[in-house]
């Protein structure tokens, strides 16, 4: 913490106090004063506040008689009108399942950086939801973020003088292995599915859904929301406009930020649709009588599929196939990796995958070249000579 003086444009000398609420590496704040004595007094006050925070000492007379649980319940009441329904449900579950039983009766001043560190270690090793498994760092960080958010709200409401958790350190991001299939594994698995669900089979849609995921790289909620118009309105690509929100049970805009250059631009994106996929999907739509607005891979009643139920079926199919198991989400990784191997340009892959940051896309990049239209017209997982799949709509 330190004081600096500077001359403003109007010629007046002012004094800036630069300080951190936590240790080195925490966010730096600044406050400006007209008089040097006021800056000094503020600096003394902040130094004492930091000392108390580090020692876990708080003048309890300055706290309203309260507990963390009471403050959290106040925060949730505020969240009912402020948070989205999915976020409210998520944080409510974290408080109820992971925090209240062990820390609900704690006084807020107990949540010092040292205490947060101990909570992190405990939560990492004691996974109440999956017994015997270590929690991922990202999961622990989300729990701690809820604790900090509750305390921040209590400060804003002037129920506690400051947040004692300021300056805590998050656990490092987990090193996540990005799995994907090689092209020969894709061909073998789809050949297996083609045999399990031949063209006139009542569950042919299972093959079609997995084939689509492996070709377009759609996220699960985008796949289940796929509209017949996206299939039929363009030649070599599909324009993806919506996804399914399982929390609100409704269709919403796609995941990701809107174009920063044009904030009114909707987050739609094109994905490749080679001829064999186009034929497969059009046949499915025709044979099942799927109407515009209904999900292509929906139930017989036109409702959106339950993702967890489908994943169970997918896992059983993988086991029966006998090949290397990857998660259903890894089908998306597989598609994007194949685009990279097909020399598609990084910016094009970013657009097709719907990545916010090119850094995410670069994880997949090995070779570059091509464009979305050229690539979409050329992409064919199964060439004619492979004779792995033959789709005849005549």
pLDDT reported for residue 8: 87
pLDDT reported for residue 24: 54
pLDDT reported for residue 389: 34
Instruction: Identify any residues that bridge with 16 across adjacent strands, giving them in sequence order.
Output: 4, 32
pLDDT reported for residue 26: 53
Which segments of the chain have a pLDDT < 50? 57-58, 60-62, 257-261, 366-375, 378-394
Residue 333 neighbours by CB distance under 10 Å = 19
Q: What are 8-57's pLDDT values in tens digits?
A: 888 899 998 887 655 555 556 788 988 988 888 888 887 776 666 555 54
pLDDT reported for residue 98: 92
Domains of the chain plus CATH, in order, are 2-55 (no CATH), 62-156 (1.10.150.130), 183-386 (1.10.443.10)
pLDDT reported for residue 27: 58
Record the pTM. Answer: 0.56
HEC profile of the chain: CEEEEEECCCCCEEEEEEEECCCCCCCEEEEEECCHHHHHHHHHHHHHHHHHHHHCCCCHHHCCCCCHHHHHHHHHHHHHHHCCHHHHHHHHHHHHHHHHHHHCCCCHHHCCHHHHHHHHHHHHHCCCCCCCCCCCHHHHHHHHHHHHHHHHHHHHCCCCCCCCCCCCCCCCCCCCCCCCCCHHHHHHHHHHHHHHCCCCCCCHHHHHHHHHHHHHCCCHHHHCCCCHHHHHCCCCEEEECCEEECCCCEEECCCCCCCCCCCCCCCCEEEECCHHHHHHHHHHHHHHCCCCCCCCCCCCCCCCCCHHHHHHHHHHHHHHHCCCCCCCCHHHHHHHHHHHHCCCCHHHHHHHHCCCCHHHHHCCCCCCCCCHHHHHHHCCCCCHHHCCCCCCCC
pLDDT reported for residue 239: 93
């Amino acid at each position: 913490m330190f004081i600096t003086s500077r001359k403003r444009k109007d010629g007046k000398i002012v004094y800036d106090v630069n300080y951190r609420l936590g240790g080195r590496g925490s966010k730096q704040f600044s406050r400006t004063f007209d008089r040097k004595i006021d800056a000094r007094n503020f600096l003394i006050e902040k130094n004492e506040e930091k000392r108390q925070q580090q020692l876990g000492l708080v003048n309890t007379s300055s706290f309203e008689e309260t507990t963390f649980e009471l403050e959290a319940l106040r925060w949730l009441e505020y969240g009912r009108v402020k948070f989205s329904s999915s976020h409210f449900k998520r944080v409510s579950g974290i408080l109820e399942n992971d925090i209240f039983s062990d820390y609900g009766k704690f006084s807020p001043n107990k949540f010092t950086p040292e205490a947060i560190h101990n909570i992190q270690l405990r939560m990492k090793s004691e996974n109440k939801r999956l017994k015997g498994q270590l929690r991922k760092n990202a999961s622990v960080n989300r729990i701690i973020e809820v604790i900090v958010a509750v305390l921040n709200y209590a400060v804003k409401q002037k129920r506690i003088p400051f947040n004692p958790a300021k300056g805590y350190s998050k656990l490092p991001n987990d090193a996540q292995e990005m799995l994907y299939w090689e092209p020969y594994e894709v061909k073998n698995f789809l050949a297996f599915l083609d045999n399990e669900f031949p063209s006139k089979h009542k569950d042919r849609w299972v093959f079609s859904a997995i084939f689509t995921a492996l070709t377009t790289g759609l996220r699960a909620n985008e796949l289940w929301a796929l509209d017949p118009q996206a299939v039929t309105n363009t030649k070599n690509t599909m324009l993806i406009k919506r996804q399914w929100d399982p929390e609100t049970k409704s269709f919403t805009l796609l995941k990701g930020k809107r174009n920063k250059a044009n904030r009114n631009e909707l987050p739609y994106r094109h994905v490749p649709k080679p001829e064999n996929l186009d034929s497969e999907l059009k046949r499915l739509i025709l044979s099942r009588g799927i109407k515009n607005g209904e999900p292509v891979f929906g139930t017989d009643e036109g409702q959106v599929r339950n993702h967890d139920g489908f994943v169970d079926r997918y896992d059983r199919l993988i086991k029966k196939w006998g090949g290397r198991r990857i998660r259903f989400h890894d089908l998306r990784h597989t598609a994007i990796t194949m685009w990279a191997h097909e020399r598609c340009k990084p910016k094009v892959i970013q657009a097709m995958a719907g990545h916010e940051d090119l850094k995410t896309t670069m994880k997949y990049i090995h070779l570059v070249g091509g464009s979305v239209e050229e690539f979409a017209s050329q992409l064919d997982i199964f060439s004619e000579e492979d004779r792995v799949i033959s789709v005849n709509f005549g």
